[in-house]
């Protein structure tokens, strides 16, 4: 948000000076920047409230954990790549029914929430940014991390099982 405020301030200042180059009055110069900053803050508040309502809506259809604390969102904003993309919420499905419920919920709510999508994640070791996203991160490693069956040369595992545990 600091970058957005700096940009808004600079644009507002530039706009004021272009309109009135001979009339450098501090409050007149600042007004467009203040208006832009106010709009950014209001948009952030709308997004925050939308994020909270998203979390609450998901919790109604989801047995697993739904988290949006600063600590969790910061952790899931990164993977092994140099990219930084902040999600709105991180979910930890307990079973395949949770996955199905969330996919159906996302499909039904695309109009209500901007850029709604699910990004699957486990260890976050991808180096191309594939384990991070701006919407919902679904981390399978907390609950869905078990070996299901081992028959001959066919092994079935849940998506959150780490390769080191599989070995």
Question: What is the rounded distance in angstroms from the CA atom of residue 166 to the CA atom of residue 145?
Answer: 10
Three-class SS state of 85: coil
Q: How many CB atoms lie within 10 A of CB 133?
A: 21
φ and ψ at residue 138, rounded to 5 degrees: -110, 105
pLDDT in tens, 35-73: 776 676 666 656 655 667 889 999 999 999 999 999 999
CB atoms within 10 A of CB 59: 14
How far separated are the first and last CA of the chain, in Å rounded?
Answer: 44
Model-level pTM?
0.69
Q: Compute how many other C-beta atoms are within 10 angstroms of the C-beta atom of residue 125.
A: 12
Let me know: does 62 contact 90? Beta carbons within 8 Å: no
In angstroms, the CA 111 to CA 59 distance is 19
Tens digit of each residue's pLDDT (9 = 90 or more) over 71-130: 999 999 998 888 889 999 999 999 999 999 999 999 999 988 878 999 999 887 877 778
């Amino acid at each position: 948000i600091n970058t957005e405020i700096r940009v808004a301030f600079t644009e507002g200042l530039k706009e004021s000076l272009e309109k009135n180059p001979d009339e450098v009055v501090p409050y007149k110069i600042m007004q467009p920047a203040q208006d832009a900053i106010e709009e950014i803050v209001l948009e952030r508040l709308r997004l925050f409230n939308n994020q909270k309502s998203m979390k609450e809506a998901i919790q109604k259809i989801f047995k697993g954990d739904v988290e949006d604390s600063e600590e969790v969102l910061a952790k899931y904003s990164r993977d092994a790549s140099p990219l930084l993309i902040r999600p709105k919420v991180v979910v930890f499905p307990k079973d395949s029914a949770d996955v199905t419920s969330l996919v159906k919920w996302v499909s039904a709510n695309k109009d209500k929430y901007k850029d709604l999508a699910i990004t699957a994640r486990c260890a976050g070791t991808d180096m191309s940014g594939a384990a991070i996203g701006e919407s919902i991160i679904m981390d399978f490693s907390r609950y869905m991390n078990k070996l299901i069956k081992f028959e001959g040369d066919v092994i079935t595992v849940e998506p959150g099982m780490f390769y080191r545990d599989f070995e």
